[in-house]
Amino acid sequence: MKKRISAVFSALALAFSVPLPVSAEEYTYPKMADDYFALVKEYPDHFRMQGDSVYFMAHSSFSNPAFIVCSENKFAVQDVKYGYVFTPEESGRYIVTMEETTLDSVAHEDIVAEVQYKRYYSYIVDAGNDGTTVTCENVYHPEETIYTLNSCVTDGGFYSFVNGMLPNVETGNDRYFTTIYENNKVSSLFCLSYPYSKETHSKTVATSDKTVAGHSMTMGTASAFDADDILTLYVVSARSDGEVTITANEKEKYELIVENGVFRYRFEPDIQPYLMGDVNNDGEFNVADVVLLQKWLLAVPDTHLANWKAADFCNDNILDVFDLCLMKRELLEKVQTPISVTMTQTGGVMAVHYEYKAYQDGEKYYISYLNKRSASDPVVTEITEDKFKSILSLDYAKYIGTEDPRNGKFSDEFNYHTVITYSDGTEKTTDVSISELIAMLKNWSKTSNNEW
């Protein structure tokens, strides 16, 4: 859905540009106008699938289009004759746009003038394990006449158009990169949006190194023509290669790198691996980390997070009370999560003595079975991770501390004793016959002569 947009420019900085890389051509591309027209006739939607890549064709043989990609996922672009070749390198959604300028004659009274109009031909590219799909979108163009070839970086309506197609962008606190290829140059923008609100957001955006990146503009867009709500969009432009931290609203931090003129996140191997929850960076995740994050959220003076990213449990580059809640839950589960279950079965008419244990060894999962009356070594069965998790996720709490009224009452009844071992080394026991556990151990382990 198109949205009306107003733009407030704050010292608009020209985006940093570097030459585009040229890669080897694996497909045949039109070299002359006749070749172009023949290809467009074959592909009227102006794109051709090429394995995992897509060749997007200009909508006019005379245009020199700019190519715009909006996404936070990685991709590659090759500038070829009459268009561009786009290759997604990660699963996710990309909004790909051909920005073209057309020349039309406009008459006003006795004056005829040649004016330029911009058109944006956009496509949704979804990349996943099943391949890449392309969906054509309606053409977008500004209502105003464009007299220069300035890029869409100054056209707020374009961002409203894109925001409506990217997933979750309208819920706010979302971000994506806008990469523009034009005249054999590439420029890159980091776009950060906030939720629709009745009030205009007064966020602050700062960069750690203004030679690498700078805040270039702030925009506000309504959800409809007559709506009084506003979605605020901040745009930061890349200026030179290097590392930069972008801080929004004083607490949100985005660690970025500009490489060959293009923004990207500082993912591995640029950042060393860390333990989730270990905000004080001491190598352990414990209650001290929870206390530290809580103090930081309360703005206690002299509170410092050695690794703020370790507290971002929502994975949205924002630290708030939701991360604190998830952090507490994670710590609680860390302490109370079973790592193994041992069940002993005795008695019955045959006076059996069986022992079963579900456990993990490295990255593999097992059930061991031992008949203590006839064997000295257990029979071990490897099981899947899902089966192992099913065993550990049983609600043992409702059985712990509860006696089974049948135990020891009848000579032909089986007696059960189960030991649950937790990650902190503690053990809890129950003598209740847990039917779900018995069935899992019976069905998923190898028992001698079907002794069940």
Residue 210 domain-assigned (yes or no): yes
Per-residue pLDDT band for 272 (boundaries 50, 70, 90) equals low
**327 and 222 co-located in one domain:** no
Most confident of 5-19, 145-159, 342-356: 342-356
Indicate the pairing of strand 231-238 with strand 213-221. antiparallel
Domain count, the chain: 3
Most confident of 215-224, 253-262, 442-451: 253-262
**30 and 112 co-located in one domain:** yes
Report whether pLDDT(172) > 50.
no
**299 and 439 co-located in one domain:** no
Residue 170 domain-assigned (yes or no): yes
**26 and 119 co-located in one domain:** yes
Q: What are the pLDDT digits (tens) for 108-150?
A: 667 767 766 677 788 889 888 788 888 876 555 544 443 333 3
pLDDT at 448: 45
Reported in sequence order, the residue ranges of 294-378 that DSSP labels E, i.e. its strands, are 338-347, 352-361, 364-371
- Those residues whose C-beta lies under 8 Å from the C-beta of residue 433, and which sit 6 or more positions away, are 404, 406, 407, 414, 416
**343 and 330 co-located in one domain:** no
**75 and 172 co-located in one domain:** yes
Residue 63 domain-assigned (yes or no): yes
Of the residues 265, 299, 323, the one at which a domain ends: 265
pLDDT at 427: 87
Burial of 381 (0-12, 13-18, 19+ CB in 10 A): middle
Q: Please state the pTM of the whole predicted model.
A: 0.53
**175 and 220 co-located in one domain:** yes
- The range of the structural domain enclosing residue 225 comes to 5-265
Both tokens of 210, joined, read 């203004």
Query: Could you tell me if residue 317 is left (phi over 0), alpha (psi between -120 and 50 degrees) or otherwise beta?
Result: left
**56 and 142 co-located in one domain:** yes
**257 and 358 co-located in one domain:** no
Both tokens of 304, joined, read 């410092």
Mean pLDDT of 393-418: 71
Mean pLDDT of 39-43: 92
Residue 279 domain-assigned (yes or no): no
Name which of 229-238, 399-408, 418-427 the model is least confident about.
399-408
Query: Could you tell me if residue 292 is left (phi over 0), alpha (psi between -120 and 50 degrees) or otherwise beta?
Result: alpha
227: helix, strand or coil: coil
**223 and 307 co-located in one domain:** no
CB 74 within 8 A of CB 90: yes
Residue 371 domain-assigned (yes or no): yes
Per-residue pLDDT band for 398 (boundaries 50, 70, 90) equals confident
**218 and 174 co-located in one domain:** yes
**321 and 223 co-located in one domain:** no
- Average pLDDT score over the chain: 77
Both tokens of 109, joined, read 């009274």
Residue 281 domain-assigned (yes or no): no
Select the more confidently predicted residue: 149 or 241. Answer: 241
Quick one: which H or E segment has residue 434?
none
Residue 323 domain-assigned (yes or no): yes
**Percentage above 70 pLDDT, the chain:** 71
Residue 273 domain-assigned (yes or no): no
pLDDT at 6: 34
